[in-house]
Structure 1
Amino acid sequence: MNIKMYLNNEKWLAGMTMKDEAEPENFNMALHACQDREVILQNRRQLARFLNCELGDFVCAEQTHSANFHQVVHADKGRGADKLETAVPVTDALYTYEPNILLCSFNADCVPVFFYHEPSGVAGVIHSGWQGTVKEISLKLFKHLIHDKQCDPNDFHVQICPALSQEKFEVDEDVYVQYKALGYADKWIEYNEQTSKYHIDNQQTVKQQCLLAGIPENQIQIDHTCTFQSSDGFSHRQDKQSGRHLCFIMKKEK
């Protein structure tokens, strides 16, 4: 199995599954983008065994490129784990204070983020495609946690995981205008005169949203692996029938 682990200690478990040609459907994790539902469930169970948890510990959302987030509680365990119909609806970020819940985000070029906050014990995942980024999903979630849940921004740790690189994220003016309107993304926008296209670094824009929330820069990490260019990446831009990575985090029970 091709699994990139970022955290595995006594408190937190976090990582991202990667494309693996030796596995069924290349280790695709998405029920909404698959050839065989049973293969996906098999892949998810294999991941669960590796992480020493159960498929019923997974919580998945119906990702719709929204800026909506949901606080996961114990009663949510298993939502979206084995069927799409039970996923948390119209939501692109999940967070929880509860232990032994695997928060899941599915991605193929969109920016996957996971984070944790040591003092409060909160952890979460964010799915930020370009639409989620221009809707400022990351900034809105962190503002909610800081202002409504009294989380000190200085205690967040954020990992921005593999996504489409600026070189491969090529867009027309309609998308450029929306990034431009943010007022802070200009540094990560380049114009190609030969193609009349714009190239945008979505990872850096998401990082800037974390900084705007007050999170210290040295506590925000970026994995610059490009999902289009890497053989380990699922890329919807490269292949419309592409599978999906699963970005995850779990708070371990003390």
Structure 2
Amino acid sequence: MEPFVPMESAERISLFNIDKWMQHNKRLTVGFTGRQGGSSSGEYRSLNMGLHVGDDAPDVIANRKLVSQAIMWPFTAWTCTEQVHSNRVCVIDQALRGKGKDSHHDAIKKCDALITNEVGTLLVSYYADCVPLFFYDKVHSAIGLAHAGWRGTVQEIAKETIEAMTKHYGTDPAQLQVAIGPSIGQCCYEVDQSVISEVERLANRYQVNPAEQKWIETTNSSGKAQIDLKEINRQIMMEAGILPIHIELTTYCTGCRTDLFFSHRMENGKTGRMASWIGLTEGE
């Protein structure tokens, strides 16, 4: 069953909740935006969340405020990073709450993953094919988000995020709930030898055959191949101690579903961005 469930909102914007998690904890909000229903125009039409792609900033900020309104969170809680395709994890405290909400220049620098146990803080990151990773430790009321493109994936940003949550909050990986969100699928993600080599290097560290794991499928005589970033991240999570039954894996491919999502690859690099979000409110 698809874990990312379309949400109806009075604002008529496209949102997808991890419904299973939210049904079990009314304090939790977690999900992913689609591309429909916002203020942006042209290539960014219409619910573009990215301030860094060339869209008009007032339109993007209006879109972000629409999402905040739809999920019933104050925009002041919206907290995000610069995103540089690294594996660096940033711990969010009250001093960092609200960074990057209305200015890309104010976003947390040189970081692609966020973790916090601060209630009332909304972690947010942005995508147009890269893999959104969600982390929820219900035992310690801690949450995390990671942005995993191919570089972040082979640098094991998923593992780094899990280890950071263990270090800072006492998270037990065996109790951690994780989700892999809408992103480009193996069907649409052809890469060259430079990327293939990095994936094979990761597989060697794990002592697995990437072909047997279906991480890589060679498609033609040019040496290019189709890469499954979702499955690679799933394997990294399990190697880090996450139980398979605690992993929610989307069926959505952003490349196939440009009616629902932006896709950097399928739209030749000129497109908007979706946002992932996760936050906990006060209460029991």
Bin of the TM-score, shorter chain as denominator length: over 0.9
Following superposition, the deviation at residue 64 of structure 1 comes to 0.2
Cα shift at 1:190: 0.6
Asked if the contact 1:157–1:219 (Cα under 8 Å) also holds between the matched residues in 2, the reply is yes
For the 8 Å contact 1:34–1:40, the answer to whether it is kept is no
1:61 to 68, 73, 81: 81
* Distance apart, 1:45 and its partner CA: 0.6
Q: Distance in 1 between matches of 2:131 and 2:14?
A: 19
Tell me the residue number matched to 1:234: 262
CA distance in 2: counterparts of 1:15 and 1:81, whole angstroms: 17
**2:179 alignment partner, SS class:** strand
One-letter identity of the residue aligned with 2:16: K
Aligned length, in residue pairs:
254
**2:217 aligned partner, one-letter code:** E
| % same residue | 30
Contact 2:38 2:63 in 1 (8 A): no
Give the structure 1 partner of residue 68 of structure 2.
48
Q: Does 1:220 align with 2:247?
A: yes
Aligned pair partner of 1:95 in 110, 115, 128: 115
Q: Which runs of 5+ in 2 are unaligned?
A: 1-12
Other-structure match for 1:17: 33
Secondary structure at 1:26 match in 2? coil
Q: 1:3-14 residue pairs with structure 2 within 5 A?
A: 3-7=15-19, 8=22, 9-14=25-30
* Residue correspondence of structure 1 range 201-216 to structure 2 within 5 A: 201-216=228-243
Take 2:65 and 2:117, find their aligned partners in 1: how far apart are those partners?
Answer: 24
When residues 78 and 149 of structure 1 are mapped into structure 2, their CA distance, relative to the original with a 3 A threshold, is closer
How many Å apart are 1:22 and its aligned residue? 6.5
Structure 1 residues 163-211: Cα deviation after superposition (integer angstroms, max 9, x where no partner): 0000111000110000000124702111012553111100010111110
Establish whether residue 245 from structure 1 lines up as the match of residue 257 from structure 2.
no
Q: TM-score, normalised by structure 1?
A: 0.96
Q: Within 5 A, what are the aligned runs for 1:1-254?
A: 1-7=13-19, 8=22, 9-20=25-36, 23-24=39-40, 25-147=45-167, 149-183=169-203, 184=208, 186=210, 187=213, 188-230=215-257, 231-239=259-267, 240-254=269-283
Q: Which moved more, 1:42-51 or 1:14-23?
A: 14-23
Q: What is the SS of the residue equivalent to 1:205?
A: helix
Q: Could you tell me how far apart the structure 1 residues matched to 2:154 and 2:36 are?
A: 31
> What is the SS of the residue equivalent to 1:190?
strand
Deviates more, 1:113-122 or 1:185-194: 185-194
Aligned residues: CA RMSD = 1.5
CA distance in 2, matches of 1:77, 1:148: 17
**2:32 partner letter:** M
Distance 1:251 1:22, change over 3 A: closer
- Secondary structure (helix, strand or coil) at the match of 1:76 reads coil
Structure 2 CA distance for aligned equivalents of residues 123 and 223 of structure 1: 19
Contact 1:104 1:247 in 2 (8 A): yes
Taking structure 2 as the reference length, the TM-score comes to 0.86
Q: Partner letter of residue 174 of structure 1?
A: S
1:64-99, CA deviations, whole angstroms, 9 ceiling, x for partnerless residues? 000101010112121000011111101000010011
